[in-house]
Chains A and B, each alone.
Chain A
């Protein structure tokens, strides 16, 4: 009866597109990861675990572990920065101020709907060491020593990229946290204040525990985004200076454009397995949320 009212072929279109453009390339990728597939020869040879060995031993002139390290640093730092700043702003907009709260919410979410390409281009000019707005501003208020060579300095490039991405993503996380905060009943806070709890007590013993499920979701979103980060790095620094800011995805693009398809697909496959394992936990998490 159910199968007749809700025929499975309804799902066919979505399933077909998903299989063709997501699943099949990923499975092909696993196969090609064991080959020397490249643009210079039509032959594709099986080379076993060689590609993986190249990634995990950094002697081959290309420091792949460095890209993986950058990706992990980027991911972890942006998770912490975005969550902390977004939580601060969310608390401010739900409790600190009443008037204009919705206006601020709309403005702060704006960076999340702009193309990452555009955000990166504009920040490239803002962070220009000689003429950029940031350094001009710092010099004008007498803080010359803070005017750095942001995206050009090998030690500051990655932190600068992280800062720009935090700017871009914080409003999005904030909006989710605001919804979470508004779902906490006021009675809890009233009861706590009658019992003599301070604002800080309520924050640690009511807000944080009740916000935990939402914080988990935002962390997962930041995690999935961070591991796959590409656009912002590609446009801001293109992996430079040198290869100081290269991440896994920009390295894949680099290998791809040099015609080393086997290597590119090996990096992709590595990421695929990590994401699938994470995805499994994410789905269990979301599942629990929707059922509960």
Chain B
């Protein structure tokens, strides 16, 4: 009995320590964002002696965070809507009509999960299509990057929807487009949320594509703005922390609201009951 209690205590302590270690960086960012420049110079774990809320006002102004926030929302939401909808349309027909050719196309698309991006020749493609340094260009690019994994997730889900629905709708005189948007699309909601949230967070967090393909600072998303802000204010960790906190706050909020969908999506893709 005692051994069992000690073991239970030990297990809880290990889990607690592990969780603490996972949480340290977020904690550091929060406490240091409120310190003065001198106090935050070593990015220490101590609590701030005075609460310097003005740090946030300073970074929003100097880091041009409002524009960056608008850009991030535009890219993440725009690309998620386009990418997830196109992926759903593709996954639906490929899953319903499994002809030899369609199966090949399905595998061809999900090959993109493994395929690395060739940034150099992609630059050439972006120039040829006049999409370089444009916001629509980066949105289309992000939509494209989200497609292979979304098709993979949604394809498996479409397979679980009964075909009788389609047949009934067709007999009732539904056109293929109407069948998809008024019958299938609503039923896909759970998997669309999972794919959508994963894409949204992935795009929000990404900074490599804008680094290569957007050279106008007015088009930069939050991540790239933070990166450049860090370059300018490397010595001032209070401001950098405030900037970081404002960047990750939306991510953490979305994560906390949608964690069930995220955690289930991760497993739907990799574990089959």
Contacts and interface: CB of A to CB of B under 8 A. Distances in A.
Given A26-B118, A116-B205, A265-B120, A292 B272 contact: yes
Majority secondary structure, B binding face = helix
B94 interface: yes
B176 A107 contact: no
B93 A10 contact: yes
B109 to A, nearest CB: 6
Interface stretch (A59-67, A188-196, A201-209, A268-276): A268-276
A171 interface: yes
A90 to B, nearest CB: 11
A40 interface: no
B205 A228 contact: no
A176 B267 contact: yes
A275 B115 contact: yes
A28 B125 contact: yes
B74 interface: no
Interface string B134-169: 000000110111011001100010010000001000
A138 interface: no
A235 to B, nearest CB: 8
B58 interface: no
Interface string A34-54: 000000000000000000000
B205 A115 contact: yes
A5 B113 contact: no
B23 A110 contact: yes
A249 B118 CA distance: 10
Given A10-B89, A113-B255, A290-B156, A21 B140 contact: yes
A100 interface: yes
B188 interface: no
B28 interface: yes
A264 interface: yes
B15 A104 contact: yes
A8 B176 CA distance: 11
Most chain A CB within a 10 A radius of its CB, from B21, B116, B148:
B116
A58 to B, nearest CB: 22
A106 B18 CA distance: 12
Contact of A136 (B26, B42, B205): B42
Give the size range of A's interface with the partner.
35 or more
Nearest to A22: B112
Given A97-B8, A117-B205, A176 B93 contact: no
A5 B28 contact: no
A121 interface: yes
A143 interface: no
B53 interface: no
Contact of B271 (A22, A183, A227): A183
Contacts of A92: 11, 14-15
Given A8-B93, A107-B22, A268-B119, A15 B42 contact: no
Closest 8 CB pairs of A and B: A279-B114, A179-B267, A115-B205, A96-B11, A14-B90, A21-B144, A131-B42, A11-B90
Given A5-B97, A26-B115, A110-B252, 6 more contacts: A6-B97, A22-B117, A89-B18, A136-B42, A231-B208, A271-B116
8 contacts: A10-B180, A13-B90, A21-B145, A103-B19, A115-B247, A118-B223, A119-B25, A268-B121
Interface of A: 2-8, 10-11, 13-15, 17-18, 20-22, 24-26, 28-29, 32, 89, 92-93, 96-97, 99-101, 103-111, 113-119, 121-123, 125-126, 128, 131-133, 136, 167, 171-172, 175-176, 179-180, 183, 213-214, 217-218, 221, 224, 227-228, 230-231, 235, 249, 252-253, 256, 261, 264-265, 268-269, 271-272, 275-276, 278-280, 282-283, 286-287, 289-290, 292
